[in-house]
Amino acid sequence: MVFLRNSLLWSLFLGICLSCQKKDPDQGYTFLIPWPQASGEYRLQEVRLVTLSSPFEMKGSAAEVYSELGFRGPGLEGHPARPRLTEVDGVYVPNDPQSALVVAVYAHFEFLQKMEVDLQLPTRMSWPRQVSVGMPMVKSNGQREFNNARYFMDEDIVAVSPYNGEGLPLALNAGILAHEHFHAIFERLFMPAFESVEVAAESSQRRQLIVRAWNEGLADFYAFVYTQNPDYMGDSVSPEVRQGRRLDRDVVSLLTPQQFQSDVERFADDDQCPQGFCLAYGEGNKLARLLYEIWQKLSEADQTGFLRELLTRLPSASRTLASAEEISLRSLVPLVVSQQVVSKAEACKSLTLLLGGDEVFVSSYPECPTEGTQP
């Protein structure tokens, strides 16, 4: 009996000592997570994160990541996710896929933050970002939503719905997270001035769709900038959506106001394209393809300058467009893409194609000839 009692006391003491070894959080923590490679492929990789104060809680200066939480009032109900991890030789290995997803999401927001700081991008972003992974969401038809990601502007939260597909889960997809993150940037740089002007209800929906198209297009481009992968959606989405959102395709003309109006009416009652939002993705992607082409032709230093200039110009573009009586899909281009950048990238031809040869807009680029283009 004495032996048993003594053994227990010594064992408890030893156990407490063994479990009290602290690590220095300044060194960061290394996690094993799926991570994009230069080829665009995702592999298991050890990724070091330096903004977390504990590896066991996804809360740091870059983000607060939540798991499977819905909204309660203005925010999320619950605390930042505590992933289940096992430490093996200094590397934290997730015990289940949901833990891997929340860690990967935190990691991408830390890297997005680093990119914006390093490149001195004028995003007006507030950190840490709030992200909910596996958030239960419902579609407009009342069914549970899977395989989607959204930015909720009122709550300023990025949400990723549960994934039930066979490809790369959306929460692991760097490009999709960067795309949604850009919506928060757009909300800060463009929307305040644009929404300050009241417009007639009949033109409001059309304006909303046009702005949505710009928002989606710029978000596609931002996703490329972060991932350096023009096929950033990969197999996280259906082959049709993937093909439709690739950036390495030929630049084509944005719809004219008449064509756009006609398509909006055509899609008005289409369940697959509620309120014509699918048009916004398609038209936005055309803009993204031009920006991608310009980026590809610039030097590394000019690329950073181009991105910075694009973001810097958004607030003033917003003020100009807010006070315009009529706006079209093409209106934003001359306000955010400068002649200097177009000339450096020798992108006159693609620019003119995107603008459909419309002299009203092409004339903003004196170095780009309008002859020979089709309106």
Partner 1 sequence: MIKSLKTALFTLAFVNSALAQEAMLQEKQNLPNASSYSRWSFGAGIETRMLKKLSADADYEHRLFPSLFVAYREKWVQSFTEFAFHENSQRVGVLNIDYQRKELRQWARYIIRDQSTWTPHLGASLGLYREEIKTRLSQDFRADTSEWEPTLGFEIGAQGILFRRMLAELNFRALRDSFDEKEEDWNWSLQVNLGYAPL
**Which range binds partner 1 by CB under 8 A, 100-108, 115-123, 305-313, 344-352?**
100-108
Q: Rounded to whole angstroms, how far apart are CA atoms 250 and 67?
A: 39
In the complex, the smallest distance separating the C-beta of residue 97 from partner 1, rounded to whole angstroms, is 4
Among 66-74, 177-185, 197-205, 345-353, the segment contacting partner 1 (CB under 8 A): 66-74
117 binds partner 1 (CB under 8 A): no
> What CA–CA distance (Å, rounded) separates 275 from 285?
18
* 43 near partner 1, rule: CB under 8 A: yes
User: Does 38 participate in binding partner 1 (rule CB under 8 A)?
Assistant: no
User: By the 8 A CB rule, do 206 and 264 touch?
Assistant: yes
Q: How many angstroms separate the CA atoms of 355 and 365, rounded?
A: 11
Which residues are CB-contacts of 298 (< 8 A; sequence separation ≥ 6)?
Answer: 306, 341, 344, 345
Whole-number Å distance between alpha carbons of 79 and 93: 21
Q: Does residue number 90 form part of the binding site for partner 1 (CB under 8 A)?
A: no
Give the length of the chain: 375
Task: Single out the residue of 32, 47, 174, 336 in contact with partner 1 (rule: CB under 8 A).
Answer: 32
Q: Is 144 an interacting residue with respect to partner 1 (CB under 8 A)?
A: no
**Which of 27, 56, 90, 324 touches partner 1 by CB under 8 A?**
56
C-beta separation of 302 from 270 below 8 A: no
As a whole number of angstroms, the distance between CA 25 and CA 142 comes to 44
**Residue 16 sits in the site that holds partner 1 (CB under 8 A):** yes
Residue 24 interacts with partner 1 (CB under 8 A)?
no
- Provide the 10 A C-beta neighbour count for residue 86: 11
Q: Minimum distance between the CB of residue 44 and partner 1, rounded to whole angstroms?
A: 5
Q: Does 100 bind partner 1 (CB under 8 A)?
A: yes
Q: Which of 79, 139, 144, 266 is close enough to bind partner 1 by CB under 8 A? A: 79
Distance CA 97, CA 87 (A): 16
In the complex, minimum distance from the CB of residue 5 to partner 1, in angstroms, rounded to a whole number: 7
Stretch that binds partner 1, among 40-48, 108-116, 212-220, 247-255 (CB under 8 A): 40-48
Task: Determine if 87 is a binding residue for partner 1 (CB under 8 A).
Answer: yes
Give yes or no for residue 290 binding partner 1 (CB under 8 A): no
Q: Does 27 engage in binding with partner 1 (CB under 8 A)?
A: no
For position 81 contacting partner 1 by CB under 8 A, the verdict is yes
Site for partner 1 in 162-191 (CB under 8 A): 163, 165-169, 172
For the chain, the C-alpha Rg in angstroms (whole number) is 24
Position 1 contacts partner 1 (CB under 8 A): yes
Cβ atoms 91, 46 nearer than 8 A = yes
Q: Is residue 8 near partner 1 by the rule CB under 8 A?
A: yes
Interface residue with partner 1 among 15, 75, 90, 375 (CB under 8 A) is 15
Q: Which residues bind partner 1 (CB under 8 A)?
A: 1, 4-5, 7-8, 11-12, 14-16, 18-23, 32, 34, 42-44, 54, 56-57, 66-69, 76, 78-84, 86-88, 91, 93-102, 163, 165-169, 172, 235-236
